[in-house]
């Protein structure tokens, strides 16, 4: 079976492109994937196929302003107006409810990469941890005081640009800056992976690598602050199984330090089932970098353990 493309009408008003691949054998559970910034759900086809072979139904949708999802208030690079972040999370929860109705009685695991990790954390917080498992990979939920600086930059830029316009200043402080941190780089996107073919596929994909709008960056900062909220974290059930992954050479997560900060926050909040996976040489996209086969296997082992405990 393939990662089949479908359309799902969200209560937020978005027509979501949803990809679903069903388990090849008796299903153990459902894994819902949240993709990262300036990419799309179809890029997770290899991961979905592997997980389906391990006994999981897998689903991923294109977030607002990404891929093939459409909404009147969300052209490419824009989550929506007003309350774009609220609508992103509304979509995520609606897809979860849809999947639970479609595959009833199965453990439900939420996985997020990068920006998708911020979505996944907020998704779990909205459910107060009442899901079976949460995976936050290659994500920075430790920006702290930098949020104010980023907002200040966006506020200045918005004096002469519309909110829906691309933020070249934030792009310069993020994607462009991260690219410059890779020594001997072949392209400006080598920070994503050590595999040239994977980097080239990203560069040649017209649905990847575009600059996000001022409004999307504002929404993402809001979502990150909500994901860092101690009060919201402590409102979750502390036996929720959580899987963290980071790359030691990933400039987008301060070389994996952001995952360590998140892990410390989880331990301090007395979460009892936290798994950390850190590859010292890996860059940003663990699922598209050297060693992705082992990363997939490690995650599937964890997901199987979680599903069997919850099932």
Q: What's the mean per-residue pLDDT of the chain?
A: 97
Residue 1 has pLDDT above 90, yes or no: no
**Domain ranges (residues) in the chain:** 4-310
Residue 164 has pLDDT above 70, yes or no: yes
Q: What's the confidence (pLDDT) of residue 294?
A: 98
Q: What's the confidence (pLDDT) of residue 83?
A: 96
Strands (E) in the chain, as ranges, are 4-9, 15-21, 29-34, 56-61, 108-113, 133-137, 241-247, 274-279
CA distance 82 to 79: 9
- Domain spanning 4-310: which superfamily? Alpha/Beta hydrolase fold, catalytic domain (3.40.50.1820)
Q: What's the confidence (pLDDT) of residue 286?
A: 98
What's the pLDDT band for 310 if we cut at 50, 70, 90? confident
Q: What's the confidence (pLDDT) of residue 129?
A: 82
CA distance 198 to 9: 32
CA distance 286 to 110: 17
- Mean per-residue pLDDT for 63-91? 97
- Mean per-residue pLDDT for 108-125? 98
Residue 264 has pLDDT above 90, yes or no: yes
Tell me the C-alpha to C-alpha distance, in Å, between residue 136 and each of 29, 39, 48, 52, 187: 18, 17, 17, 20, 27
- Mean per-residue pLDDT for 115-133? 96
55 with 23: CB under 8 angstroms?
Answer: yes
pLDDT > 70 fraction of the chain, expressed in percent and rounded: 99
Q: For residue 8, how many other CB atoms are within 10 A of its CB?
A: 18
Helix, strand and coil percent figures for the chain, each rounded to 5:
40, 15, 40
Q: What's the confidence (pLDDT) of residue 311?
A: 64
CA distance 99 to 41: 16
What's the pLDDT band for 151 if we cut at 50, 70, 90? very high
Model pTM score: 0.98
Residue 176 has pLDDT above 80, yes or no: yes
Give me 148's structure tokens. 């104010």
Q: What's the confidence (pLDDT) of residue 244?
A: 98
Give me 294's structure tokens. 């082992």
The closest alpha carbon to 123, from 223, 45, 47, 29, belongs to 223
Q: Give 198-220 pLDDT, tens digit per residue.
A: 999 999 999 999 999 999 999 99
Q: Give 284-307 pLDDT, tens digit per residue.
A: 999 999 999 999 999 999 999 999
């Amino acid at each position: 079976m393939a990662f089949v493309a479908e359309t799902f009408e969200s209560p937020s008003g978005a027509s979501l492109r949803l990809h679903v691949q069903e388990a090849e054998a008796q299903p153990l559970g459902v894994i819902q994937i949240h993709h990262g910034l300036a990419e799309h759900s179809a890029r997770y086809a290899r991961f979905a196929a592997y997980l389906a072979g391990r006994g999981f139904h897998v689903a991923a949708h294109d977030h607002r302003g990404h891929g093939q999802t459409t909404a009147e208030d969300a052209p490419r690079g824009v989550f929506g107006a007003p309350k774009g972040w609220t609508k992103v999370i509304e979509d995520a929860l609606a897809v979860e409810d849809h999947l639970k109705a479609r595959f009833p009685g199965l453990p439900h695991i939420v996985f997020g990469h990068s920006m998708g990790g911020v979505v996944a954390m907020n998704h779990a917080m909205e459910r107060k941890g009442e899901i079976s498992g949460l995976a936050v990979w290659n994500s920075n939920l430790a920006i702290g005081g930098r949020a104010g600086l980023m907002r200040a930059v966006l506020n200045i830029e918005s004096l002469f640009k519309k909110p829906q316009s691309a933020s070249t200043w934030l792009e310069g402080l993020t994607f462009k800056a991260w690219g410059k941190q890779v020594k001997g780089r072949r392209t400006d996107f080598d920070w994503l992976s050590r595999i040239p073919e994977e980097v080239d596929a990203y560069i040649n994909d017209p649905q990847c690598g575009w600059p996000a709008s001022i409004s999307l960056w504002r929404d993402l900062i809001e979502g990150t602050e909500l994901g860092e909220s101690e009060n919201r974290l402590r409102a979750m059930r502390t036996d929720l199984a959580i899987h963290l992954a980071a790359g030691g050479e990933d400039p987008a997560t301060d070389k994996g330090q952001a995952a360590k900060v998140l892990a410390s926050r989880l331990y301090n909040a007395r979460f009892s089932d936290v798994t950390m996976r850190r590859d010292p040489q890996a860059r940003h996209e663990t699922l598209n970098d050297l060693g992705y086969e082992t990363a997939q296997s490690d995650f599937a082992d964890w997901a199987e353990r979680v599903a069997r405990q919850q099932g």
